[in-house]
C-alpha cells in the first residue's frame, strides 16, 4: 500500500520568508514517481514537479527547489523569498510504476502575508 503524509496542515509566513513544505511517503515499489501540485483558490491542480525514484538529484526552478532523500523517504519542497501569489494548498503525491493510482497527501495550506 502507498501512503503520503504531509504533517503540516497549515503554514503562515510573511512575504519574502523562505518556507519548506514536508512530504514523507511509504511504498513497497522500487520504481515510483513523486509529484508536487499547487491548488490555488481557483481550485485547479497545477503540476509543479515530477521525480522518479532513481533520480535523487535535487532540483531548482526559480524560487522553487525540491529535496528528494530516499534514505528518509522524503520529498520536501522549499519556496525561497515567498510571495503572496504563492498562497495555495500544496499537495505531494506518489505514483507506482503501473500508473494506476496517484496517492495524495492531505495537503499543506500555505498563507503568505504581505
Partner 1 sequence: GAGVSQSPSNKVTEKGKDVELRCDPISGHTALYWYRQSLGQGLEFLIYFQGNSAPDKSGLPSDRFSAERTGGSVSTLTIQRTQQEDSAVYLCASSLDFIGYTFGSGTRLTVV
Contact 79, 64 (CB under 8 A): yes
Other Cβ atoms less than 10 A from the Cβ of 83: the count is 12
The window from 14-22, 53-61, 76-84, 89-97 that contacts partner 1 (CB under 8 A) reads 89-97
Cα 72 from chain centre: 15
> Judged by CB under 8 A, which of 68, 103, 110, 112 binds partner 1?
103
Is residue 61 at the binding interface for partner 1, with CB under 8 A as the rule?
Answer: no
In a 10 Å sphere around its CB, with 0-12 CB exposed, 13-18 middle and 19+ buried, how is residue 108 labelled? Answer: buried
> Judged by CB under 8 A, which of 50, 63, 70, 113 binds partner 1?
50
Is residue 98 at the binding interface for partner 1, with CB under 8 A as the rule?
Answer: yes
The DSSP code sequence of 64-100 is: EEEEEEGGGTEEEEEESS--GGG-EEEEEEEEETT-S
> Judged by CB under 8 A, which of 43, 61, 85, 114 binds partner 1?
43
Q: How far is the CB of 45 from partner 1 (least distance, A)?
A: 4
Pick between residue 15 and residue 111 the one whose CB is nearest to partner 1.
111
> Judged by CB under 8 A, which of 12, 17, 106, 113 binds partner 1?
106
Amino acid at each position: 500500500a502507498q501512503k503520503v503524509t504531509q504533517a503540516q496542515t497549515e503554514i503562515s509566513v510573511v512575504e519574502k520568508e523562505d518556507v519548506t513544505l514536508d512530504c514523507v511517503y511509504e511504498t513497497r515499489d522500487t520504481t515510483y514517481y513523486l509529484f508536487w501540485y499547487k491548488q490555488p483558490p481557483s481550485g485547479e491542480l497545477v503540476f509543479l514537479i515530477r521525480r522518479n525514484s532513481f533520480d535523487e538529484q535535487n532540483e531548482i526552478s526559480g524560487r522553487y527547489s525540491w529535496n528528494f532523500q530516499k534514505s528518509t523517504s522524503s520529498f520536501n519542497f522549499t519556496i525561497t523569498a515567498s510571495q503572496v501569489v504563492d498562497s495555495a494548498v500544496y499537495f505531494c503525491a506518489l505514483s507506482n510504476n503501473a500508473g494506476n493510482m496517484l496517492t495524495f497527501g492531505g495537503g499543506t495550506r500555505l498563507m503568505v502575508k504581505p
